[in-house]
Structure 1
């Protein structure tokens, strides 16, 4: 029995050891799991920059996680206190944050606040703290919470707000600039017929702002005469080409606006034809151009009358010669008819000469009427050599009176030019008379003016008038083309200015240089031939985009003329 008792005791003792071992193993497993959980929690807090804490509102004791120490930049070896926390608050956030904490402690309510702190290194951080009372503790408030470092997100938010504010300011300035310059921007999706317009374009077309616009609406507002050009623009856009056009808009109230549009395809959208461009209201510019052209026409008329007034003797001579011939021929014809028998053949021949002289007088009167008449520019194909001869015939007596010899070198192979005959006559007449004036004070037996024409590269035609007068000072050349600048005692100073305006309106240029060999100066102009100037009559006031290469100096800086 004792053996059994001993055995039973032994067996009982063995059972106790087994349970202990199991308990120990369970404890170690629990501790290991807890350690892993703590490691994972610490890692998660580091990754999310979120620390955890407890705070006893009665004892003011704090228990922080490692990440909380890192966030606040406190020494982990020193237990944190409320005084340390209050001292770390940003001065601007200290009072409101402390008031919120005290309110939460007093009412045992959750706490949620954003605030800034200043770390020991002087860095400013943005923190977000959330906490709530632990419900199992009822005697007083003990809070469990977390603090997250939201500095990066706050700075990003501030940067975004600053960018949005800057964008808003930029848009405000852009809108104001567009209003001042009367220029609007647009985006046009050709396939979808979608149009995104800025404010100015709505104003140009007279559409209510933010109206959904379609090509049909746009086409209905465009002047009918400009529709062919608009349709050509649409064809270019359909194949993805950039475009530029000046056209007119007829608003619903009958008011007309002039607009200039330019656009190009957005390369970043390769699968659709989407265009970005700008449209400018150039109505005032067009009105000013029309007024300027009218003033120029009036001034040109004055210049013509002034020039012709000095040709009074020449005009009288040109008219009196055929009139005298008519009278003589008429008397001769009467005598031949009164003879017995009548000299019919002689009378017939004399009558033909009378008709010839009458036509000659009529031609002189027609040329004078053309030069004196105010009428719009009429572009036609003319022979520049014939125009030179007409002017020289008209001014021959005046040039003889001044003892000026005119020598011509007019090449026959020059192309016809597309020009207004009267205006070109005015320019040639002005250059010839200026050459004669330049030789008035030169002691020469006879002054000589050389007038020449020749064809140039690019289909241009040049006419030059060279004299042997006083020449030009290089620094004064461009001043001669300024309105109302004159070197003559009785001059108006508008001849060369008007002449340059006329030549530029013909797509050409006019310049003057001192002669390199001998004395005197040469004034010349170059205008495009009829083929090179095709369509120029529709752009009378337009400057040429290019001029032919010549041996004359560049006048790109002469625009003050």
Structure 2
């Protein structure tokens, strides 16, 4: 029987797709490995029990060792790793933190120092999170260490710099503070807090407390000034009284300026306050001393002048009286001796002329000179007078407001004499409001009216009791006054071709008005009457 032919059976399976898939997978793994090694951080992996199983290339290069290099007999890899590369001051704390995370499954986060391959320790921020399976069981720990040593050193340098700056600020003999752009108190230095008897513990309530520390008579003005500066961006500058920790109010000067960004927007306000109470009191004492000296000098000068006038005038007056008696005897004689009486009358005339010459010489002493007069803007003189009296106004808690009409023509005046008039009238206005409880405002208004420039100085005091007599020499309503100030003022104004008068305001206060001609060549305005200088006529007042 013949044997059947043997046959070979075979199959062919297409594995090209599988091979390509594996090749692609290997390529992905290679790219992932390169990516992990190129990440600018130190990546590592732990088993659920905490054994290191992977360090990326960045970490190996930094530490100078790999996972296998952490093997130590009788010690886990994790403990060996911590002991080998973690700073001794941080090792125990890091080990405890890792053990806690491995037990609880909580995320790990810690700053510590790692030893670089060259032996230098650098600060690291290390974080690790667990990867879990579908049942929630931890299968791996993945961590990242980021080098923050430069940041830590910069922060430390910044803290040292801030500490030195704070020490400097607290050591300066001034009180330093700051506001937010909206005016909220944001900082007060230690010296200021100590001065006021406050602490930083309740800083949120400090802003309200500081407002309460300002003297009640200055608080509203300080708030109004600060609010205006916050609104307009103007520099804050003011003198006010603050309550010290012992309850005593002392004069202080506060100044605050805004800090702006490149666009001009205010980002912060910085201010200083200086205790000037001793200086203010010294200035007050000096002012009193000057006033006393001025009054004594005036009294002495007046007494000397009076004695001189009396001495000069008494001789011709004595001659007049004596000659008059002699003339009377010659005329009453029987018969009357006319010839002798006429000679006596001649002597009387000579003596009277001598007395007139004495009076003329005295008047010449006070005659105003026109040689020192120059054309100038009256508005600038008003501003100078306001500046000169600003300190006294602040001391008396009076605000001086100025209103000047635009494009005023110049007037030809003696600058010193007109400034003397302005200062005298301003001082009278300040003194008139000494007893005013509120609304202490002195208003100075300069405007043109016809051919004159008219200046008005208005106060809110009690008004003028004797408006028709206040310009008389030696008439005064002040207990310490000599009654010469307004008389001299009127004399100066009239010597400039102007006129000075006063009016009572409604419901209270007074206004002193003086008008000076624009044209210096015009005749004295007193010759033309009050209407020529802008003073209302009787007909105008009736309207």
TM-score (norm 2): 0.46
